[in-house]
Amino acid sequence: MSNKRDYYEVLGVGRDAQPAEIRSAFRKLAAKFHPDVNPGDKDAEEKFKELNEAHEILSTPEKRQMYDQFGHAGPQGGMGGADGFGVGDIFDMFFGAGGGFGGRGAAGGGERARQQATQGSDLRYDLEITLEEAAFGVQKTLKLTRLESCETCSGSGAKPGTTPKVCSACQGSGQVRHVQNTILGSFATVAPCANCRGEGRIISDPCGTCRGQGRTRQTKEHTIQVPGGVDTGTRLVDQGAGDAGLRGGQPGDLYVVVYLRPHADFKRSGNDVLHDTSISYAQAALGAQIEVPILGGTEKLTIPAGTQPGATFRFRGKGFPDLNTRSHDRGDEIVQVKVAVPTKLNDEQKRLLREFATASGEKAPPDDPGFFDSVKKAFTHK
């Protein structure tokens, strides 16, 4: 027969208590009997352990249902046996707190749980760059806010010259182990220690800089290299540049997401660069050599005589490098020609156009606006 107190009695609630009522009762009593509030009081320490055990069972629906049906001990026999050794003990022997075959002491596995390192969180930074920077690559200096290991306490969280104390509730394991006898045998459950929040230690004299956290939030400059060929949505990873880890854990990573700033002269299409340029209808008809902008400079473009509106010309290798190939072959710059037709003509220009029309076999009455409209349309539409 078990000599344990009824769990409902321990928490001071009825058997029909709702989860919120159980949680509220536990918090109130745990604050009253917490070892830190009652240093050296063994009775308070035992009461606190009893509260943890009762809360663990009654706050878990499956465990509460089993407890309501079988109580503390439950029916004997079956897989449990008269000595209470059952399924839970078998699993505990091989995989439990002892951390090895037959090892059942709390110190071994608990010490590992307490010292388990936690990796820092990853960070994201949205970076806007120009089209030229995306084409040739650039080194950027970011102003980054992240958690860094406290320099005052070297990340321990304790005031320099002091050391954290071993948690008296879990004996430094960071875990509280409960054994429940049921119809299927004895089942061992392990939960994080509420007294030390699973740390296995309690910092009684915290570091004044980080207030016991072991990390401080700082804003510093961080340099990152952006390779040529990136596009909007490209994600760059800088390993180890995220938040610092806890208890010696590795830092997280920094993810830089690239966005290209709109450009006045260029548009991007894959690894190609698109540019529109305007020429006069005289240049289109007679041919010319013009200067057009490219990424990072200018190039001369030869316009053949008789060039039609919408014609395209290609500058090989003047686009973006391909990030997905080892050779990083560059795309092209594609220039599309638009013919600019003047909206107003002076008398001399009109006379010359009439002569041109006559030489071409066309008849244009003097000051006939229809003729000039037809010329304009001819150079603005294919």
Question: Residues annotated in the binding site for Zn(2+), as ranges?
Answer: 150, 153, 167, 170, 193, 196, 207, 210
d(CA 367, CA 274): 40
What type of residue is 352? L
Smallest Cα–Cα separation from 4: which of 33, 38, 42, 47? 47
Tokens at residue 259, please? Answer: 């966005």
Tokens at residue 232, please? Answer: 């909007």
Q: Residue 209: which residues within 8 A CB-CB, separation 6 or more?
A: 150, 151, 152, 153, 216
Smallest Cα–Cα separation from 159: which of 221, 212, 106, 100? 212
Q: What are phi and psi of 168, to 5 degrees?
A: -75, -20
Side-chain-side CA neighbours of residue 163 (13 Å)? 4
First to last CA, the chain: 100
CB 159 within 8 A of CB 153: yes
CB 173 within 8 A of CB 195: no
In sign, the C-alpha dihedral spanning 76, 82, 84, 88 is negative
CB 278 within 8 A of CB 301: no
CB 284 within 8 A of CB 275: no
Annotated binding residues: 150, 153, 167, 170, 193, 196, 207, 210
Please return the burial class of 99, using the count of CB atoms within 10 Å of its CB with bins 0-12, 13-18 and 19+. middle
In sign, the C-alpha dihedral spanning 283, 287, 289, 290 is positive
d(CA 266, CA 200): 61
- Three-class SS state of 21: helix
- Distance between alpha carbon 55 and the CA centroid of its chain, in Å? 35
Start-end of H helices in 34-125: 42-58, 61-70, 87-95, 106-115
Tokens at residue 195, please? Answer: 């007294």
